[in-house]
Amino acid sequence: MSCSLSIKAYAGDVVNYQVNGADYEGYWVSPADDAPLVVLLHDWDGLTDYEIKRAEMLAQEGYAVFAADLFGAGIRPTEVVDKRQHTGELYKDRSKMRSLMNGALAVAESRGGNVDNAVVMGYCFGGAAALEMARSGADMKGFVTFHGGLQTPPDQSYDMAKGRFQIHHGSADTAITMEQFAGLAKELEAASLPHEMISYGGAPHAFTVLGSSRYREDADKKSWRSFLNFLDETVK
């Protein structure tokens, strides 16, 4: 995967923007001026063609999408050590992570995105980031994760969280355990937050990643349909 986005293959626009003086490169696509907004957060590869493909799929369903960049313009790691470095830096600096997501939300709004009718979703690392945004008290209508990190840092809680939650998790995921999945359900229940916790038997970590050895078509299609239903109920 190259470091630059394959803009010729898609109908949206690469968006160069800044957060706290640093350069970032996101992706915006919208089928209509009044379309509900989805903020899409990438996995530990950075913002690549995979997230753009998902953004285009959502646009075809009638949603405006801003795929945010949480690593920086041109930073699209391919080696595991580099992926761990970039995600690890943000896990250690939660304030920066939140600032980057708020900055992305501001960019989406500047492009015409309706931030008052919006859902935040993410894959893997992006799922953990979406839950971080939820715990910050962000006034979104919903938060959705696909095989995302589920653990809450010791100094955080869902006391300030708002909106609805939908969590998609593979039962065969060895990176993020079913114990963590159940633990999040307990936290959301204790906070009286509306939530759906959906597990997929036999699905490993990253089961939605098209073309990968971990891809599971059945779990991918089922989770996507559930996500579209969630959007239809939440932001339409």
Which residue segments constitute the domains of the chain, with CATH numbers given? 13-235 (3.40.50.1820)
| pLDDT of amino acid 2 | 35
pLDDT single digits (tens) 28-66: 999 998 999 999 999 999 999 999 999 999 999 999 999
Q: Which of 3-12, 62-71, 219-228 has the lowest mean pLDDT?
A: 3-12
178-190 core/surface letters (b: 16 or more CB in 10 A; e: else): eebbeebbebbee
* Closest to 87 (Cα-Cα) out of 72, 102, 65: 72
Query: Considering the entire predicted model, what is its pTM?
Result: 0.94
pLDDT single digits (tens) 78-94: 999 999 999 999 999 99
Query: DSSP for 75-108?
Result: ----SHHHHHHHHHHHHH-HHHHHHHHHHHHHHH
* Closest to 75 (Cα-Cα) out of 42, 104, 110, 124: 42
As a whole number, the mean pLDDT across the chain is: 94
Residue holding tokens 């696509």?
Answer: 29
